[in-house]
């Protein structure tokens, strides 16, 4: 087995907090539209709208904001007033300006590994938003390459490996999403480390049977990554 030549990291919920911001905003969204809809309709409707809109808006806060407005209009039978639509827009703007909060052990681990391996960020989402978060995180200088993509699947990783002249067998992906960071890399014959975040968007969840037969390492937090690499 060739040694690991390059380590790539997911960004949202791997390097810094992200899903928590969406969860908190969804609670505010629920409070805003609750007077116009039945309680049982509030549960999964926003998730369904987001997933339906992925092919149009992609991942990220702007698509989420538009999906909140669409969902609010549909569930209120288009009775949602302009003032409430403005509130939803303001929620989206607050998300875009939210401070970047690094997860525990991230910066010290990245600093330690930067002298030993070429490091990459491979993240999906809105280009402007992701570039802004990377710049504000203070981590950008540790990475030799940053790739912001619209989707993370086998074809995306295959293209990036080819672009950077890397073999899958010498590539390690670190992330919180089994669907986006682990499974496609394992399917290509690469290495993957799963560091779970305490909450995962429903679109990123997999069933155990979907992961049968694929070898990957699960760690509790980023501080365990250097020791795992020494074992390899």
pLDDT of residue 39: 60
176 and 92 in one domain?
A: no
Q: Can you give the pLDDT at residue 47?
A: 87
The residue out of 73, 96, 119 marking a domain boundary is: 96
What's the confidence (pLDDT) of residue 214? 72
Give the span between the Cα atoms of 139 and 80, in whole angstroms.
41
In-domain check, residue 166: yes
> Which segment of 42-46, 63-67, 91-95, 202-206 scores lowest on mean pLDDT?
202-206
Do residues 198 and 219 share a domain? yes
Is the model's pLDDT at 107 over the cut of 70?
Answer: yes
- Domain span at residue 118 reads 6-16+100-231
Answer yes or no: do 112 and 213 share one domain: yes
Residue 225 has pLDDT above 70, yes or no: yes
- Quick one: pLDDT at residue 36? 84
Write down which residue in 96, 116, 131 finishes a domain.
96
Q: Which of 192, 167, 157 is nearest to 178 (CA)?
A: 192
Each residue of 136-192: pLDDT tens digit? 999 999 999 999 999 999 999 999 999 999 999 999 999 999 989 999 999 999 999
Residues 89, 114 share a domain: no
The answer on 159 and 117 residing in a single domain is: yes
Residue 83 and residue 142 in one domain: no
Q: How confident is the model at residue 198 (pLDDT cuts 50, 70, 90)?
A: confident
- Give a yes or no: residue 1 inside a domain: no
How confident is the model over 116-135, as pLDDT tens digits?
999 999 999 999 999 999 99
Residue 201 has a pLDDT of 58
Instruction: Name the pLDDT band for 215 (thresholds 50, 70, 90).
Output: confident
List of residues 6+ apart from 46 with CB closer than 8 A: 26, 29, 67, 68, 71
In whole angstroms, what is the distance from residue 24 CA to residue 71 CA?
17
CATH (domain of 78): 1.10.150.240
Domain assignment present for 226: yes
**Predicted pLDDT at 219:** 96
Per the structure, the count of domains in the chain is: 2
Domain contains 87: yes
Written as one string, the DSSP assignment of the chain is: -PPP-EEEE--BTTTB--HHHHHHHHHHHHHHHGGGS-GGGTTTHHHHHHHHHHHHH-SSHHHHHHHHHHHHHHHTTT---HHHHHHHHHHHHHHHTPPP-BPTTHHHHHHHHHTTS-EEEEEES-HHHHHHHHHHHT-GGG-SEEEEES--SHHHHHHHHHHTT--GGGEEEEES-IIIIIHHHHHTT-EEEE---S---GGG---GGGGTT---EE-SSGGGHHHHHHH-
Q: Which two tokens stand for residue 142?
A: 């540790």
């Amino acid at each position: 087995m060739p040694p690991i030549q390059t380590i790539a990291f997911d960004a949202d919920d791997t390097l810094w907090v992200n899903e928590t911001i969406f969860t908190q905003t969804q609670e505010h969204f629920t409070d805003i539209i609750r007077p116009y809809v039945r309680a049982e309709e509030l549960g999964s409707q926003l998730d369904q709208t987001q997933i339906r809109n992925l092919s149009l808006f992609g991942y990220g806060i702007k698509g989420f904001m538009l999906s909140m407005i669409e969902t609010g209009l549909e569930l209120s039978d288009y009775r949602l007033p302009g003032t409430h639509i403005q509130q939803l827009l303001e929620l989206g703007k607050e998300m875009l300006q939210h401070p970047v909060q690094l997860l525990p052990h991230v910066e010290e681990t990245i600093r330690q590994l930067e002298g030993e391996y070429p490091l990459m960020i491979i993240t999906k989402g809105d280009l402007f938003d992701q570039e802004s978060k990377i710049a504000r995180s203070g981590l950008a200088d540790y990475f030799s390459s940053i790739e912001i993509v619209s989707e993370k699947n086998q074809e995306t990783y295959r293209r990036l490996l080819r672009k950077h002249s890397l073999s899958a067998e010498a590539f390690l992906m670190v992330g919180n999403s089994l669907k986006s960071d682990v499974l496609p890399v394992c399917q290509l014959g690469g290495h993957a480390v799963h560091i779970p975040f305490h909450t995962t968007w429903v679109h990123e969840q997999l069933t155990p049977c979907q992961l049968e037969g694929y070898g990957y390492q699960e760690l509790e937090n980023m501080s365990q990554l250097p020791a795992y690499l020494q074992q390899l």
